[in-house]
Amino acid sequence: MNTDTKTASLRPPPRDRTTALQAGKPAPDFALRSTPDQTVSLSEFRGRPVVLAFYPADWSPVCGDQMGLYNELLSEFQEFDAELLGISVDGAWCHAAFCRDRKLHFPLLADFEPKGEVARLYGVYRATDGTSERALFVINPDGIIHWSYVSPVGVNPGAAGILSALEELQDKRES
Amino acid sequence: MKRHVTASVPELALPTPERDHIQGLADAPNLLLEYGDYECSYCGEAYPVVKAIQKRLGARLCFAFRNFPLVNSHPHALHAAEAAEAAGTQGRFWEMHDLLYENQGALEDEDLAEYASMLDLDTERLMKDVLEGTYTAKIRQELRDGARLGVNGTPCFFINGVRYDGAPRVEDLLAALSAEPG
């Protein structure tokens, strides 16, 4: 029996209903503070893949786990020559304390003023909460979004999707 | 005994005696794989849960453990994992695994040496393995593989190759295991 038609109506709404920027779109450039006296801009990393990980807030349990996991996998990302950037609406001093506490070895960017401006550019601002979505973007070396994913806010999306996207980019480069 | 494994399950998510430390028979109908960290308190809480499940399912369960140490948060996790692997080489992986989870508050190098001695292992050899990082590459590979399989924290369980996202409680895990046609 062919159940395709039947199951199609039961499927959840397609993910493209999200406002998040999708694959194929240019990744909007930005410059944000990573520490109280340092600024990081996306265009600095042109020529290399970038993993942009929006998360709702420093210190919340899921975020800590997610950033902690990525911290352990930095050498994996580096094997793809990829730069990992965490980004939330917290300020640079808050990020500094969070990084120190969790021993994070990658930059956390402060999308703090105007609040959530970069999250809005990427279509992942949650106006009701005043934070960003838990959203992942893998940007190719030419600055084009190769993959994006918005996780339910309470769910740690892990790194499998990021690693697959980076593998695809590497395969493309080699072919 | 028949096992239900979905065709789309990655082979890596299934325990095999060639690759893994396993308890039970590899062809048991229920395969439970844990990615864990010896210093993670949630893994510590899951340890008696797994024991209870093993008791309940007996020969119907094959349990495997792989390392997923979050070393930045847990400074003793890597040496503890090295000690378990080194004990494994001397034939006592599970005994060391159990001692580590039963003594999560005491995972300094001298504690590891003491556990080795309690298990009548060649302590000098075990500590040399720990300090030289003999098994670091294996442990790192398990972490990498786990990340690719979707491990997003510890403990993370896979039931017959499918990630289990429920609470690590006896009833919930048993329900998920028995829901698998087997």
Residue A11 lies in a domain: no
Contact between residue A124 and residue A131 where contact means Cβ atoms under 8 Å apart: no
pLDDT of A164 above 50 = yes
How many whole angstroms separate alpha carbon B70 and alpha carbon B116? 23
Q: How close, in Å, is residue B92 to chain A by CA atoms?
A: 28
Give the tens place of pLDDT for each residue, A78-89. 999 999 999 999
Contact between residue B161 and residue B31 where contact means Cβ atoms under 8 Å apart: yes
Residue A150 lies in a domain: yes
How many whole angstroms separate alpha carbon B49 and alpha carbon B16? 22
How many whole angstroms separate alpha carbon A12 and alpha carbon A109? 33
Residue A156 lies in a domain: yes
Inform me whether the C-beta atom of residue B150 falls under 8 Å from chain A C-beta atoms. yes
Residue A4 lies in a domain: no
In SS3 terms, chain A reads as CCCHHHHHHHCCCCHHHCCCCCCCCECCCCEEEEECCEEEEHHHHCCCCEEEEECCCCCCHHHHHHHHHHHHCHHHHHHCCCEEEEEECCCHHHHHHHHHHHCCCCCEEECCCCCCHHHHHCCCEECCCCEECEEEEEECCCCEEEEEEEECCCCCCCCHHHHHHHHHHHHHHHC
For residue B178, the model assigns a pLDDT of 84
Give the tens place of pLDDT for each residue, A27-73. 999 999 999 999 999 999 999 999 999 999 999 877 668 999 999 99
Q: Which residue has the higher pLDDT, A2 or A112?
A: A112
Assign residue A149 the CATH number of its domain: 3.40.30.10
DSSP three-state, residue B18: coil
pLDDT of A151 above 80 = yes
Give the catalytic positions of A in this structure. 63
Give the tens place of pLDDT for each residue, A4-25. 433 444 444 444 457 999 999 9
**Mean pLDDT of all residues belonging to chain A:** 90
Closest alpha carbon within chain A to B156: A158
Looking at chain A, the whole-number percentage of residues with pLDDT higher than 70 is: 89
Count of CB atoms within 10 A of residue B153's CB? 21
Domain extent at residue A58:
17-174
Nearest Cβ partner for A73 among B147, B149, B153: B147
Residue A2 lies in a domain: no
What total of structural domains would you count in chain A?
1
How many whole angstroms separate alpha carbon B152 and alpha carbon A156? 6
Q: Omega of the bond prior to B155 within 30 degrees of 0, cis? A: yes
A159 contacts B147? CB cut-off 8 A: yes
Mean pLDDT over A115-143 rounds to 97
Q: Which site among B73, B78, B145, B164 would you substitute to test the A interface, given the most A Cβ atoms closer than 10 Å to its Cβ? A: B73
| Tokens representing residue A96 in the block | 């500094």
For residue A18, the model assigns a pLDDT of 77
How many whole angstroms separate alpha carbon B129 and alpha carbon B135? 7
> What residue segments make up the domains of chain B, in order of their start?
20-179
Give the tens place of pLDDT for each residue, A104-122. 999 999 999 999 999 999 9
Choose among B84, B76, B69, B80: nearest CA to B119.
B84
Hey, what CATH topology would domain B20-179 get?
Glutaredoxin (3.40.30)
**List of chain B residues with pLDDT < 50:** 182
Residue B156 sits at the vertex; the CA angle it makes with B46 and A71, to the nearest 5 degrees, is: 115
Inform me whether the C-beta atom of residue B149 falls under 8 Å from chain A C-beta atoms. yes
For residue A14, the model assigns a pLDDT of 45
Choose among B64, B68, B67, B88: nearest CA to B15.
B64
H helices, E strands: number in chain B = 7, 5
Contact between residue B73 and residue B102 where contact means Cβ atoms under 8 Å apart: no
For residue B7, the model assigns a pLDDT of 66
Q: Which residue is associated with the tokens 């990980």?
A: A53
Rg from Cα positions in chain A: 17
Q: How close, in Å, is residue B60 to chain A by CA atoms?
A: 30
Contact between residue A82 and residue A166 where contact means Cβ atoms under 8 Å apart: yes
For residue B126, the model assigns a pLDDT of 98
A76 contacts B153? CB cut-off 8 A: no
Residue A51 lies in a domain: yes
For residue A148, the model assigns a pLDDT of 98
Which residues have CB under 8 Å from B105's CB, separation 6+? none
For residue A61, the model assigns a pLDDT of 77
